[in-house]
Every structure is written in C-alpha cells, then in structure tokens.
Structure 1
Amino acid sequence: MTLKLKVIIGATRPGRAGPVIGDWAAKAAEAFGGFDVELVDLASFNLPLLDEPNHPAMKQYEHDHTKAWSAVIDDADAFVFVTPEYDYFPPASLVNALQCLSQEWRYKPAATVSYAYVSGGLRAAQELRLLMSNLQMMPLPQVVPVPFFPQFVKDGVVEPNEPMTDGMNATLGELAKWAEALKPMRG
C-alpha cells in the first residue's frame, strides 16, 4: 500500500518562495516513489490564531477551517514541512497550524525542507523539530537545507544541486521507513 505524504508549505506571506520550494519537494517525492504525494499550501486554509474554544486534543472543532485542516492532516502517513527561517524561527503561521491540531499528528514521521540565506533555514528546522516531538510526531534528524535559495530558482522552478537532490532522496528514504514502522501505532 502506498504511503500518503503531505508536503506542507508553511509560509503564508505574500511574495513567499514557499510554493516554489514546496513544488520541488513534492515533485522529488513523486519521483522517489512509494508515496501518494499531496502538496498542501497552508495559505489556502486561512487559519486564524488558535480560535477553537476546545483544546485540540479533544478533536471537537467548531470552525470549518479547522475541520478542513484536520481532514487533510488526519489521513496522512508522513509529512514534509517546507519552511523559511524568520528571525531564527519557523513562521508563526506554521507554528499556529501545528498547534491547531493534536491527535492528527501523532505517530507520524516528519521531515523538513528549510530555506533561507546563509543558514539555509537550519535554525528554523531545529525549532520545528522540537515542536513536532511535543506533538508526538517522529521528527527526522535529517533536514534538507536550501541556503541562498534564490540561486536555485530559475523561472519559478527550483533547479537543485547534487547535494540537495541526494539529501532529499536520503530523507525520503528515512521518511518511508519510519512511516511504515509507525503504522501499527496509528491503527
């Protein structure tokens, strides 16, 4: 059975590079094989800041936007979060989206593709992994950083170098192993 992988674009700012980087990550996952890949743009959900009256662990959502977000996340087997680094941290939109839910994340592995300038977004990825583990996900230690990301974008398409491609394939391999191993815990 094919694993359901959600590639989540975590930035919602106008003019963001997330859709371009996310498209590359999704296409790389499709080419890798073994995954039913869905590219999920967080901006399309318009999630307000923690507006549900009940704690997400109760899974008693009142708002349509939260119900829609929950449905997309709930049927996933694994995630790739595509995140920029804003002030050494992932964007508030992504942190909020993670904290809007609880049970939907449990026992699922997650990888990170980060992008920025000098750091390649590695500091944001590190912070994101801590939040993932607190939500009972299995955050992979592997990160696919894209430093000085504009140099890899040509005509709206990412043209990865060999280390990016190799890193993405190695990360996807680990993600598939963890997704299979954790399946019994999700059942």
Structure 2
Amino acid sequence: MDTPLRLEIIVGSVRPGRFAPVVAEWFLRTARAHTEFDTGVLDLAETGLPTDLTDTEETAAFRARLDAADAFVAVTSEYNHGYPASLKTAFDSAKHEWRAKPIGFVSYGGLAGGVRAVEQLRQVVAEIHMVSIRETVSFHRAKKRFDEHGETEDGAAIDAAERLLTQLAWWAQALRVARASQPYPGSRA
C-alpha cells in the first residue's frame, strides 16, 4: 500500500476545437505536483469507445486502465445544461471497474462553469457505486480564465484543485485499503 495511488484524468469533450485540453493540461500539471499520485490521462477523443457499447479491443483496454486505477478526475464541459455524451459512454462502457473508487470533477463552461454537468454526473457515478468528491474545480467563462500558456490566476479554482486532490488522495487510500481487505459487495456480480 506504499505505492503511489493511480489517478486517471478523464478528458470528457470530444468536439473538434474543444477547450478541454487547456483545462486538462492545467489540472494534470497541478495533480502531478502531488507525489501521492501516479497520474495518467484518458482522453476520450483518443479512446475509441463505441457509442453502441459493444465489446471491442478499445473497450477492453479502457476497462483495464480503469481497473488499475485508484481514483479518477473527470474534466467536463457543459453542453446545453448537461455533460458530454462521450462521458456517459465512458461510464456505461465499464461496470465493476468503477466500483468503490473516488471521482472528482473539474468543469468549465460559460456563466455556469459546468456546474450543472457536474451535478448530473454525481447521479451517474452514485449509480455505479463510486464516491463523488465534494470539492469541485469550476471555471466560469473558461476561455477568459487561462492565458496563452494555459495558466490561470483564478485563485478560487487553484484553491479548489488543491482541496479536491487532498480529499481525493484520502478517499483513494481508504478505499484501496478497503478493497484489498474485503471485496466490495457485488463487485463482480
């Protein structure tokens, strides 16, 4: 249990010209400063998950990455008061691999900053037996919050990211120990 916690950052938007890489790269740099994590990125634009949820080699590889992870952060935009369909496909493409693992959210958008998408996602992750981290990073009017180098001076977001990562590490460690000592009920049912 002394090995770093495996954190996968899931980049949810797959639209051409998306702003997601700017937000995701900033959060990735922030997360990598936390040595308790070994951090990777699952960019759904590059994952190739079929929308009809059929089992493919891509789906199997995706599930293997999820299974090896201890924690997740979803970087999500807000489209029409909701989250991207690609995120729903990702959550529906696996089942047991998500269970008894924590997830945090980094959202971005216009005036609402993606918070409506996050609130909907909390319902989805509860259904698949995940623990949703209370702290959320939210970028309102996101394109105005980052400079040309992908950095932000948004103090509320910087503070929220630190709190999110601290809480995520606590939950990830606690749930890793719990999963190792006793399988999660129904984890392979």
* TM-score computed with the length of structure 1 as normaliser: 0.91
| Map of 2:45 onto structure 1 | 43
1:147-166 alignment, distance < 5 Å: 147-166=140-159
Residue 31 (1) aligns with residue 33 (2): yes
Pick aligned residue for 1:113 from 97, 106, 109: 106
Instruction: Work out whether residues 23 and 39 of structure 1, in 8 Å CA contact, stay in contact via their aligned partners in 2.
Output: no
Pick aligned residue for 2:136 from 132, 143, 146: 143
Instruction: Work out whether residues 53 and 89 of structure 2, in 8 Å CA contact, stay in contact via their aligned partners in 1.
Output: no
Secondary structure of the residue aligned to 2:111 is coil
User: What is the CA–CA distance in structure 2 between the aligned matches of 1:11 and 1:143, rounded to whole Å?
Assistant: 18
Moved more, 36-45 or 151-160: 151-160
Instruction: Work out whether residues 32 and 169 of structure 1, in 8 Å CA contact, stay in contact via their aligned partners in 2.
Output: no
Q: Following TM superposition, by how much is the alpha carbon of 1:153 offset from its aligned partner in structure 2, in angstroms?
A: 2.3
User: What is the CA–CA distance in structure 1 between the aligned matches of 2:89 and 2:153, rounded to whole Å?
Assistant: 29
Instruction: Give unpaired runs (5+ residues) of structure 2.
Output: 181-189
User: What is the CA–CA distance in structure 1 between the aligned matches of 2:86 and 2:16, rounded to whole Å?
Assistant: 13
Pick aligned residue for 1:63 from 52, 56, 60: 56
* TM-score computed with the length of structure 2 as normaliser: 0.90
Q: Which has the higher helix share?
A: 1
* Aligned positions, number: 178
User: What is the CA–CA distance in structure 2 between the aligned matches of 1:92 and 1:82, rounded to whole Å?
Assistant: 13
Pick aligned residue for 2:91 from 98, 102, 127: 98
Q: Following TM superposition, by how much is the alpha carbon of 1:31 offset from its aligned partner in structure 2, in angstroms?
A: 1.2
* Partner amino acid, structure 2, of 1:13: R
Q: Following TM superposition, by how much is the alpha carbon of 1:184 offset from its aligned partner in structure 2, in angstroms?
A: 2.9
Secondary structure of the residue aligned to 2:22 is helix
Instruction: Work out whether residues 50 and 100 of structure 1, in 8 Å CA contact, stay in contact via their aligned partners in 2.
Output: no
* Partner amino acid, structure 2, of 1:9: V
Instruction: Work out whether residues 11 and 74 of structure 2, in 8 Å CA contact, stay in contact via their aligned partners in 1.
Output: yes
Structure 1 segments (4+ residues) deviating >4 Å: none
* Partner amino acid, structure 2, of 1:51: L
Instruction: Work out whether residues 53 and 92 of structure 2, in 8 Å CA contact, stay in contact via their aligned partners in 1.
Output: no
Pick aligned residue for 1:183 from 153, 164, 176: 176
